[in-house]
């Protein structure tokens, strides 16, 4: 069975007690479509920024960061700690920001950092 929603409904029909409501197809399909559209929009906004980030920022720093957006030439980055923010700031001031600017052909003008929560398992 190739349709995961039908498979889920079938398993639910087998395992759920009699009289329980089943998962309606429309709300799940609508949510999947909404998530797909949001991911497509985010990908279009970020462009090649993630690829540049992977190429320019060392893995030791990159592991504790997450790109959160690109708007108006400002690449927003969330770091996992103040120490990572400091190390990233030193790297960017030492020529990393100029390399990002050149690699993005001017789409990235500057990098804004803030300390936040990083999901290291994703």
Domain range list for the chain: 1-12+25-46, 47-115
Residue-level pLDDT at 76: 93
CATH 3.10.20.600 fits domain 47-115: no
Going by C-alpha positions, the residue among 75, 81, 78 that lies closest to residue 96 is 75
pTM for the complete prediction? Answer: 0.65
Q: Are 22 and 13 in contact (CB under 8 A)?
A: yes
Phi, psi of 29 (to 5 degrees): -65, -40
Over the stretch 13-44, which tens digit does the pLDDT of each residue have? Answer: 777 776 666 666 567 778 888 888 988 887 77
CA 43 to chain centre: 9
Q: Which long-range contacts (CB under 8 A, 24 or more apart) does 99-106 make?
A: 99/56, 100/52, 100/53, 100/56, 100/75, 103/48, 103/52, 103/55, 103/56, 104/47, 104/48, 104/49, 104/52, 106/73
Q: What is the pairing mode between strands 65-71 and 74-79?
A: antiparallel
Over the stretch 50-65, which tens digit does the pLDDT of each residue have? Answer: 889 999 999 999 999 9
């Amino acid at each position: 069975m190739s349709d995961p929603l039908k498979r889920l409904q079938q398993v639910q029909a087998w395992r759920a007690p009699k009289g329980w409501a089943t998962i309606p197809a429309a709300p799940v399909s609508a949510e999947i479509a909404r998530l797909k559209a949001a991911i497509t929009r985010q990908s279009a906004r970020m462009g090649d920024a993630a690829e540049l980030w992977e190429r320019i920022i060392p893995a030791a720093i990159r592991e504790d960061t997450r790109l959160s957006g690109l708007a108006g030439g400002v690449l927003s980055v969330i770091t996992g700690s103040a120490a990572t923010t400091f190390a990233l700031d030193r790297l960017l001031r030492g020529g990393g920001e100029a390399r990002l600017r050149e690699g993005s052909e001017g789409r990235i003008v500057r990098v804004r950092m803030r300390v936040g929560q990083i999901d290291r398992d994703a």
